[in-house]
Structure 1
Amino acid sequence: MNDLSAEPERLHYLDGLRGIAALVVFATHLSIVIFPSIFNGLPIMSRLDYEWKLAGTPLGILWAANFAVCIFFVMSALVLSRFYEREGDNFLAVCIRRYLRLALPILATSFFVYLLWTSGAMFNLKAQQITQEGWLKSQYLTAAPGFWQFLSESLYQVFRVPTSEFNPALWTMKYEMAGSVGVFALYALVPQRLLRIPVLLLCLTVLFKTYYMCFVGGILIYEWMKLSPAIKLSLPNWVSWMLLVFGAYLGAFPYNVATPENIWFGRMLFLDVEEWHMIGAIPLVFACVTLVPVKRFFTLAPLQYLGKISFALYLVHGPMICSLMSFLIVSFYWPPHARAAMFLGVIAVVPATFLVAHYVAKWIDQPAVRISVIASRYLNRISKGSFAGTEKWRPAPKVEQTGSRRNKSVKEPIAVEAPASGL
């Protein structure tokens, strides 16, 4: 049975899951460059003899970046729902806090990309002529944009449209910001839980086949976590394990393979690939929340460290591949042997990317969290509940009666920090 009766103040196991998801995104973009046939199933593009045979198999979960992003969305909704119910006194303040928490690291890392781009340090187009795959030639195609365009995109456009010239990974920020505001709005406008559940089910229907469905799923998981221990303990372990396997199976659904009628996924094509990933992310995160062995695994120290640097790793890995790794591929390539140069590039870029991510997390990401908290508390102080519709609903004072004595007490909100990662 599942023991969820005692949740810690911070859900540390979600940090571990977030770290693995960020690692999968990194591994995917590396694999696209050096092992393209595990995505398209074409033997002619295989760097290794067996590589193309892996295309379309459940092992694709190891290079399923889109599925990892869906997991980010589900976890964001879960954590932000929990945060808003505990500390969301002011709707406007928490929205600004969320914006700053995302925008400041994006601005800093995009400036890093801007410097690389303007100095001619992006070698991805030259490297693509060697690798002959498609991802590298889809980035940094023109001359570097101007400084004001860099500012506009980093602070505004990246949250408006699902694309970015400075960092391909930032296509998710439109959904992340809009989904976060949606979570806050739901709890601000629908404080009654009995009414909130039907609203969520309606949203699940309306938002089906969009990435916002993942946010609805994350809120529903959080609502499950608030149920009484007796109800939660009634869920058998085998059900959660089945949901874990089912979610991972859907997450491995491939994009393009040479023979789509394959043994694993040939009968599942009535939905788009992204839609299978969205559907699979919800039961997988739910299983991770309910299974004690899985939660303990995600609290291992290496995974906790991955979670700590996950947002930074997500932001810097693409530019590092397009600059450092591509430079090494171009520099060490000699015809007709391309594999040695590509593998050398991977060997060098992996530790370098983790090193950069470590210091971005330390010097940029963590200070951004603190700045966002300070700004939110300042807005709370100056507003004093004056913003119409932004004050969090609070329950009426609870009256406990013992004999002829009455004890009145008001439960104060618990102060918790924002999620460690922006995803």
Structure 2
Amino acid sequence: MQLNSVSGAWQRLGLSESAPSPISEKSSSSRTAYLDGLRGFAALMVYWGHHQLWAHDGQGAEGIFENAYGYKGQYYFACLPGVRTLFSGGHFAVSVFFVLSGYVLAAKPLSLIQRGELKALGDNLSSALFRRWLRLHLPVICTTFIYMTILHLFRIRALPETKSTYLEELWNWYAEFKNFSFVFRGGGEPWFTYNFHAWSIPVEFRGSITVYTVLLAFSRFRANSRLCGYLFLIVYFLYIADGWFCALFVAGMLLCELDLAAQIDETPAILTKLRRWRRPIFYALLAISIYLGGVPSHNSDLQTLRDSWGWHYLSFLKPQAVYDYKWFYLFWAATLLVASTSRIAGLRRFFELPFNQYLGRVSFALYLVHGPVLWVLGDRLYAAVGWARVSHPTTCPGWIDRLPLPRVGPLGMEISFLAPHFVLLPVTLWLAELVTRVVDGPSVKLASRLYGKLLVDF
């Protein structure tokens, strides 16, 4: 893989070390453009899954979408293996984010390691580590502050409930964020109530530190020694310690190393021998990924998994170290998906489609804004078309059944559910575009400029 292609992808992914500029060049020029599209599509799945659960809350949506087909006598098309991921694939999508981040964060440093440019590697890791916290948290600060202010000034009933005065609201926002932003905290609530979906940002930062640390520690190793080191760490994080998110990042590093090695014909011999069966192998891995991506995730009780159709025997693979079993199966699902995407031409072309490339460009902002849009506008539109929630008489009584629509169609695809998205999806994408241009891009430039200002010439 050419260095300029790798670094281009490294710069354009939303949670990568460098985010895309507000007006970026076409990602299709990159040989790794499919990574952008995969990440964008995963962000759309997060949007879709959260709306499914919110609108269908009155039907006990979590107990349906987040359990296996046929669990407790509930048989829905949306819960079939493979299909269910399209309706409740949020955790799968987050796992994919982490593998992709491990890949793109490691791409340029590994290229430098392969060329033996260790001084340049030190400069790269120094810059990356300095800018990483700012790159991830500045957009969270801006979007949650604006959301908090709008809720309070216009007295909008949504999530969270507003305080009595703006000063009290401001203090609550600050107190929550300062704890949320310290990623090594040992207690307290993991949620930032002004955007619950941002829970993955501190995890992303901890995973990033894992990547940088491993790169530095392995920088003087031979290529095969690095590969063995990645495998050892994956085993450690999955089977010895409960470090599932670290395993996802390291898996991304492993895939990146293998791709770079393939470009210079240094693929490990054991993989070279399998080359003739490459096509059926990766189609099989994709099928396994899709199946494991639908792991029941309603709770962390292993007995629930064991009682689920199609998961009884798979439940015995769960390591003792992993507390919440879903992350073990999602590790394999996400890793196999990223690995197979680049080797299956049709799948790769799908993620290189212009719409998926666009989603990849705004994916970080889409991830941050879709929750507030759901809680303010989405909640009211769902109430208007007839989707009831216990909170509606309090949050939006004037919207209830203002424009009732028929619930015709299978679960998750009803007319009354789909219709609001003719408004919700454009509004969400417009806000994502706005945040990408006004907040995300400038945040990246600010972090880079600040690092440059503080450098000392030796």
TM-score, with normalisation over the residues of structure 1? 0.75
Residue 292 (structure 1) aligned to one of 321, 345, 361? 345
1:222-301 equivalent positions in 2, closer than 5 A: 222-229=256-263, 230=265, 231=267, 235=275, 236-256=278-298, 261-270=307-316, 271=318, 272-301=325-354
Q: Please say if residues 56 and 254 of structure 1, whose CA atoms lie closer than 8 Å, have aligned partners that are also in contact.
A: no
Q: Please say if residues 55 and 254 of structure 1, whose CA atoms lie closer than 8 Å, have aligned partners that are also in contact.
A: no
Residue 89 (structure 1) aligned to one of 112, 116, 122? 122
Q: Please say if residues 85 and 293 of structure 2, whose CA atoms lie closer than 8 Å, have aligned partners that are also in contact.
A: yes
Give deviations 1:171-201, integer Å, cap 9, x for gaps: 1112100111111111123212434333322
1:293 and 1:225 map into 2 onto residues whose CA distance is: 19
Q: Please say if residues 158 and 170 of structure 1, whose CA atoms lie closer than 8 Å, have aligned partners that are also in contact.
A: no
Match of residue 231 from structure 2:
201
1:338-349 equivalent positions in 2, closer than 5 A: 345-349=420-424
1:121 and 1:13 map into 2 onto residues whose CA distance is: 43
Match of residue 24 from structure 2:
none
Give deviations 1:341-374, integer Å, cap 9, x for gaps: 7665444322211111111111111121222222
1:186 and 1:65 map into 2 onto residues whose CA distance is: 28
Give the residue type in structure 1 aligned to 2:226.
Answer: R
2:332 and 2:144 map into 1 onto residues whose CA distance is: 31
2:400 counterpart of 1:333: yes
Change over 3 Å in CA distance of 1:118–1:82 after alignment to 2? same
The alpha carbon displacement at 1:13 in A equals 1.2
1:117 and 1:368 map into 2 onto residues whose CA distance is: 24
Q: Please say if residues 43 and 367 of structure 2, whose CA atoms lie closer than 8 Å, have aligned partners that are also in contact.
A: yes
1:312-323 equivalent positions in 2, closer than 5 A: 312-323=365-376
Change over 3 Å in CA distance of 1:242–1:122 after alignment to 2? farther
Give the residue type in structure 2 aligned to 1:284.
Answer: L
Give deviations 1:12-66, integer Å, cap 9, x for gaps: 1111001001000000000002235564239xxxxxxx98443353211113100
Q: Please say if residues 155 and 162 of structure 2, whose CA atoms lie closer than 8 Å, have aligned partners that are also in contact.
A: no
Match of residue 439 from structure 2:
364
The alpha carbon displacement at 1:245 in A equals 1.6
2:254 and 2:169 map into 1 onto residues whose CA distance is: 43
2:457 and 2:176 map into 1 onto residues whose CA distance is: 30
Q: Please say if residues 21 and 68 of structure 1, whose CA atoms lie closer than 8 Å, have aligned partners that are also in contact.
A: yes
Give deviations 1:388-419, integer Å, cap 9, x for gaps: xxxxxxxxxxxxxxxxxxxxxxxxxxxxxxxx
Match of residue 61 from structure 1:
85
Give the residue type in structure 1 aligned to 2:39.
Answer: R
Residue correspondences, number: 359
2:108 counterpart of 1:108: no
Q: Please say if residues 122 and 140 of structure 1, whose CA atoms lie closer than 8 Å, have aligned partners that are also in contact.
A: no
The alpha carbon displacement at 1:158 in A equals 3.4
Match of residue 250 from structure 2:
216
Long gaps (5+) in structure 2: 9-31, 66-73, 113-119, 319-324, 384-395, 408-415
Q: Please say if residues 139 and 440 of structure 2, whose CA atoms lie closer than 8 Å, have aligned partners that are also in contact.
A: yes
2:351 and 2:418 map into 1 onto residues whose CA distance is: 30
1:343 and 1:278 map into 2 onto residues whose CA distance is: 31
SS of 1:254 mapped into structure 2: coil
Give the residue type in structure 1 aligned to 2:199.
Answer: W
Give the residue type in structure 1 aligned to 2:228.
Answer: P
With CA pairs under 8 Å and 6+ residues apart, which has the higher RCO, 1 or 2? Answer: 1
Q: Please say if residues 3 and 108 of structure 2, whose CA atoms lie closer than 8 Å, have aligned partners that are also in contact.
A: no
The alpha carbon displacement at 1:97 in A equals 1.0
2:374 and 2:444 map into 1 onto residues whose CA distance is: 27
Change over 3 Å in CA distance of 1:222–1:167 after alignment to 2? same
SS of 1:8 mapped into structure 2: helix
Which is further off, 277-286 or 227-236? 227-236
1:287 and 1:33 map into 2 onto residues whose CA distance is: 32
2:176 and 2:457 map into 1 onto residues whose CA distance is: 30
Q: Please say if residues 320 and 353 of structure 1, whose CA atoms lie closer than 8 Å, have aligned partners that are also in contact.
A: yes
Q: Please say if residues 158 and 171 of structure 1, whose CA atoms lie closer than 8 Å, have aligned partners that are also in contact.
A: no
Long gaps (5+) in structure 1: 43-49, 125-138, 385-423
1:121 and 1:285 map into 2 onto residues whose CA distance is: 44
Which is further off, 286-295 or 173-182? 286-295
**What is the aligned-residue RMSD (CA, Å)?**
3.2
The alpha carbon displacement at 1:291 in A equals 2.9
Residue 354 (structure 1) aligned to one of 403, 425, 429? 429
Match of residue 28 from structure 2:
none
Identity of aligned residues (%): 25
The alpha carbon displacement at 1:105 in A equals 0.9
Q: Please say if residues 81 and 291 of structure 2, whose CA atoms lie closer than 8 Å, have aligned partners that are also in contact.
A: no
1:196 and 1:156 map into 2 onto residues whose CA distance is: 35
2:47 counterpart of 1:14: no
2:359 counterpart of 1:306: yes
The alpha carbon displacement at 1:163 in A equals 2.1
1:327 and 1:38 map into 2 onto residues whose CA distance is: 18
Change over 3 Å in CA distance of 1:177–1:159 after alignment to 2? farther
Give the residue type in structure 2 aligned to 1:55.
Answer: C
1:38 and 1:55 map into 2 onto residues whose CA distance is: 11
